[in-house]
Amino acid sequence: GQSLEQPSEVTAVEGAIVQINCTYQTSGFYGLSWYQQHDGGAPTFLSYNALDGLEETGRFSSFLSRSDSYGYLLLQELQMKDSASYFCAPPNRDDKIIFGKGTRLHILP
């Protein structure tokens, strides 16, 4: 089967750095994607890690460790507009993509 674990909520201060963790269990792991969803909106793609290590895209970075079935999303120089829910999503060998409840990020001024 497949399962995902993320913290339900994280709070950080504007301008700071925050890390959102994800542990997963899936058959036939291929990589780990991250999505952002603002209230009332649809999820949008942020990043994808196929290999171990850190992928950087502007203020956002994503990390993957296959051996630990673990990844994280790192958000730097937090802005109020980063207040949203963040989901990790690993496609498996059957092309099945599951999400979960995600992590709600609250940013304080």
Q: Which of 39, 81, 95, 109 binds other proteins (CB under 8 A)?
A: 95
CA–CA–CA angle 98, 100, 102 (5° rounding)? 130
* Cα 75 from Cα 29, distance rounded (Å): 24
- The yes or no reply on residue 43 touching other proteins (CB under 8 A) is yes
Count of residues touching other proteins (by CB under 8 A)? 22
- The yes or no reply on residue 106 touching other proteins (CB under 8 A) is no
Least distance (Å) between residue 33 CB and other proteins = 6
Q: Exposed, middle or buried, 45 (CB in 10 Å: 0-12/13-18/19+)?
A: exposed
Q: Which of 78, 84 has the CB closer to other proteins?
A: 84
The residues that bridge with 94 in the sheet, in sequence order, are none
Q: Residues interacting with other proteins, by CB under 8 A?
A: 30-31, 33, 35, 41-45, 48, 87, 89, 91, 94-102
